[in-house]
Amino acid sequence: MRRVESGKRLAIASLAVWRVTHLLAEEDGPFDVVVRLRGRLGSRQLGELMDCFYCLSVWVSVPPAFALAARRRDAPVIALALSGAACLLQRASEPSTPPVESTGRSLDELLWQETQGV
């Protein structure tokens, strides 16, 4: 089997970190396994971690970082790079909100009107 270049390995690992993190933080999982796990963890520290994509991506990136690192001391930097890439992918995959039109009013005024149904 041909050895995959390190850049391609990093790209593949970034996609894998995004996928696993997205599954754990945002999806129900097969047979609702993940949603039940999140329910059991509740509001404890692990439960709160499972609710935050960005926090969770740091921890999900650790095992692939050690697999990619040529030296153990490189693993923390690779983990941060994988987490950062997953966060960028998450931002890119989120639906964008339309820009707020310039009305000359402050954000507080706009939010107040929105809550009042004006």
* Residue 59, pLDDT above cutoff 90: yes
pLDDT at 38: 85
What's the whole-model pTM score? Answer: 0.74
pLDDT digits (tens, 9 = 90+) for 89-114: 999 998 876 555 666 667 677 777 77
Beta-carbon-side half-sphere exposure of residue 107 (alpha carbons within 13 Å)? 2
| Lookup result for tokens 């970034």 | 14
- What separation in angstroms does the CA of 5 have from each of 9, 77, 83? 6, 18, 20
Cα 31 to Cα 15: distance, rounded to the nearest angstrom:
23
pLDDT digits (tens, 9 = 90+) for 62-85: 999 999 999 999 999 999 999 999
Written as one letter, the residue type at 52 is C
Confidence of residue 1 (pLDDT cuts 50, 70, 90): very low
pLDDT digits (tens, 9 = 90+) for 10-53: 999 999 999 999 999 999 889 999 889 888 888 888 878 888 89
| CB of 60 closer than 8 Å to CB of 24 | yes
